[in-house]
Amino acid sequence: MKSDGKILIVDDEEGIAFSLKLLLKRHYKVVTTENNPFHIPRLISQRNPDIVILDMNFSRGRTDGSEGLHWLMKIKEIDPSIQVLMVTAYSDVSTAVETLKSGATDFIEKPWRNEKLVATVKSAFELRSTLSKVKSLTDQNQLLNKTLDEPFSEMIGTSPQMHDIYKTIDKVSMTDAHVLIMGENGTGKELIARAIHRKSRRQDQVFIPVDLGAIAETLFESELFGHKRGAFTDAYEDRIGRFEVANKGTIFLDEIGNVSLPLQSKLLHVLQHNKARPVGSSKEIDLDTRIICATNMPLYDMVEENTFRQDLLYRINTVEINVPPLRERKGDIPLLVDHFMAQLKQKYNKPNIALHPQTLSKLEAYFWPGNIRELRHLMERAVILADGDIITPHEVIAPQSRHKNKTFSLNLEELERKSVHKALEIHQGNITKAAKDLGITRAALYRRIEKFDIN
């Protein structure tokens, strides 16, 4: 089956041009020949070729290849994505090599072997296809970044606390300083990390998020630093780690408080030396990676308890950003609700749905243990289940509805104690499920159980 690729052959020797066309027509649907190189601009405009096969010399007596180099540069000026294959005699191979430095994809020696020539053309098509995909992905990434960069994108809030965070992001973004983001689950720590990356000099490189809490301890080194084939059971091939994938870009290490002490030591080595050793390898890989960490755990308390290395804490928090819980910036709730409603109206095709004023008041009065993530989840559920176009107070869930006949306390510690107790009661003492419902880690839940002396 013939390929849809389009080839333009430019050679002043009609016999060579015809032979090339005869050979390549077996494999490609569109093959055009031209003897006069001055027609190249017009033919590119009319035919839009994927590949140009270009002779090195056109004028009688010329053998220095300068004409071919001139037209190569002209083609690349018109359309840099066109792959150019230079046709050269064996004695001019050194000159052909010079054209590679100027943008040619490869060269074809005269006389050629048909199999090798067809393979060379095929490789050029594959390269053009790959470059086209890369450009498409790059354009998409730039467009996405442009959209996301509009005043902190998903980061919604005008409270003083959020303005302080915006200022810190602006200051730290253009440096390579390590950043530690601390805050409860659901407060938007990853959004802050992404904002730092998008405003940095590495914005055109990758951003790799890693949930350290979800990586099994036995796979930690392999996942982060990679491994060589045969390094351990089931290591059937080489694999690069997350740090190497993030090279030149940013790696976001979420839930860093969940890393065990032995693995903290290995992570510290990478941060100190900017090198990583894949499992089973004798060589270290040089790294140039911006590191942003996040946690909802009290790292300073953990240092005192000898469960987190002090030297690692100093290494990761050159700049520290503390994200306030939603209950401490309730003035931002109307803005967040408007933002989520705009998204959900479109997602569920409910353009007329809106909140009753008393519903918003109820949302503002809630404690929000799950923070912004919980608000987003609650709004989505309310939009889906709403009976009409107005979301009434009884269609959202708040603590008052569970304690109608009790006095509602605003004491934060008491609310936290009650939330922990209620979650354990609902899940019949299952720590994993209760922690997930509360939006905290198992370790954080154990500390609260001990703090509040809950049996």
Inform me whether the pLDDT recorded for 407 exceeds 50: no
Examine the fold and report which residue of 274, 292, 322 is the final residue of a domain before the chain moves on. 322
Q: Which residues of 348-383 are buried (b: 16+ CB within 10 A; e: fewer)?
A: eeeeebebeeebbebbeebbbbbbbbbbbebbeebb
Mean pLDDT of 291-317: 94
- Is 142 within a domain? no
Whole-model pTM: value is 0.59
Three-state SS string over 19-44 comes to HHHHHHCCCEEEEEEECCHHHHHHHH
How far does the chain reach from its first CA to its final CA, in angstroms? Answer: 73
> What domain count does the chain have?
4
User: Taking each helix axis from N to C terminus, what angle separates 189-198 and 114-148, rounded to the nearest 10 degrees?
Assistant: 120
In a domain, 423, yes or no: yes
Confidence at residue 140, expressed as pLDDT on a 0 to 100 scale? 57
Tell me if 144 is assigned to some domain. no
Tell me: the pLDDT tens digits for 136-193?
666 556 545 544 444 344 688 899 999 999 999 999 999 999 999 999 999 999 999 9
- Asked whether residue 422 is domain-assigned, the answer is yes
Helix (H, G, I), strand (E, B) or coil at 291: strand
Other C-beta atoms lying within 10 Å of the C-beta of residue 109: 18
Looking up residue 15, the CATH number of its domain turns out to be 3.40.50.2300
Q: Which of 290, 322, 354 is the last residue of a domain?
A: 322
Domain assignment of residue 419, given as a range: 412-451
DSSP sequence for 73-90: HHHHHH-TTSEEEEEEEG
* Mean pLDDT of all residues in 232-236: 78
Residue 157: inside a domain, yes or no? yes
Range picked from 87-91, 201-205, 290-294, 382-386 for highest mean pLDDT: 290-294
* Model confidence at 408: pLDDT above 70: no
pLDDT at 138 (0 to 100): 63
Mean pLDDT of the chain: 86
Same domain, 294 and 339: no
